[in-house]
Amino acid sequence: MLAPYSSRVRALEVVIGKLEAELKKGPVGGGNLGNFVTDGIRIQSSAKLGKPVLLAVTNSGGLRKNTIAAGDFRAADIFELLPFENVLAEVDLTGEHLLKLLNVVVSAGDALSGARIKYRISADNRPEMVSARLLDSQGREMEIDPKATYSIVTIDYLLKLGSGRYSILQEGKNIRPLDITIRDALINYVEAETAAGRPVKATLDDRFVLTGPEAQKPEIPQR
């Protein structure tokens, strides 16, 4: 009776890659851990769809592991980080709704890949969006046309929320499930990087840019 269970445990302990530096959850954008997750799902979604995915978004609350140490990267790390069966899905949003979504992402401290948000700290010590641009494959900024339609990838959990911050996603059209969980997409991403001979890494880059007087002060504390 214990044999099937034991084999599953052994599978989780398999090393699937090498992590170049520690991944750590942070208060804005989910830190470099949030960058790792959203970069991974955007790359894997692009491969699955056979076309570039402009933007990937997920909530930092769904990242259930605060740090992953540098060194051996095991399947168990991904299962501990993403324990829920959240499925990736593509959805169409107008530029107007996309801008509102990006404001939600920065104000909630959530994670994204494919955009640059400039933000400030409000009087009640919360991040709020000043401006947002999408990024092309070369990292160049692209204006968001409020009247245009944009396809993004996120998780079905956020798409199903009927209230709260992410209710803006209820305005989305043409929801297309990708038939892969966020967890499996991340495992595939790590394995693909490993097969290509690349260490797994994610840095704090300029996808979230603090502006105004607060930009000269230390980062706001973890909420």
pLDDT at 223: 35
How far is 52 from 114, CA to CA, in rounded Å? 10
Q: Is residue 190 part of a domain?
A: yes
Which pLDDT score is estimated for 218? Answer: 46
Q: Is residue 220 part of a domain?
A: no
Cα distance between residue 117 and residue 134, in whole Å: 9
CATH code, domain carrying 71 = 3.90.780.10
Residue 165 falls inside a structural domain:
yes
Q: Is residue 150 part of a domain?
A: yes
Is 198 part of any domain? Answer: yes
Give the pLDDT confidence score for residue 2 in this predicted structure: 41
How confident is the model at residue 154, as a pLDDT?
Answer: 99
Pairwise CA distance, residues 41 & 8, whole Å: 24
CA dist 39 and 150 (Å) reads: 18
pLDDT at position 219 is 47
Domain count, the chain: 1
Phi, psi of 114 (to 5 degrees): 115, 5
Any domain includes 9: no
Count CB atoms within 10 A of the CB of residue 4: 8
- The whole model's pTM is what? 0.91
Q: Kindly state whether residue 151 falls inside one of the protein's structural domains.
A: yes
**Grouped pLDDT means (10 residues each) for the chain, 223 residues:** 48 90 95 98 97 97 97 97 98 98 97 98 93 94 98 97 91 97 98 95 94 65 39
On whether the CB atoms of residues 63 and 81 are closer than 8 A, the answer is yes
Query: Cα separation of 145 and 140, whole Å?
Result: 16
Write out the DSSP string of 186-202: HHHHHHHHHHTT--B--
Of 194, 102, 205, the residue nearest 154 (C-alpha): 102
Residue 5 has a pLDDT of 39
Whole domain around residue 30: which residue ranges?
16-214
C-beta of residue 90 within 8 angstroms of C-beta of residue 176: yes
What's the pLDDT score for residue 162? 78
In a domain, residue 94? The reply is yes
Question: Identity (one letter) of the amino acid at 149?
Answer: T
Say what the pLDDT of residue 10 is. 57
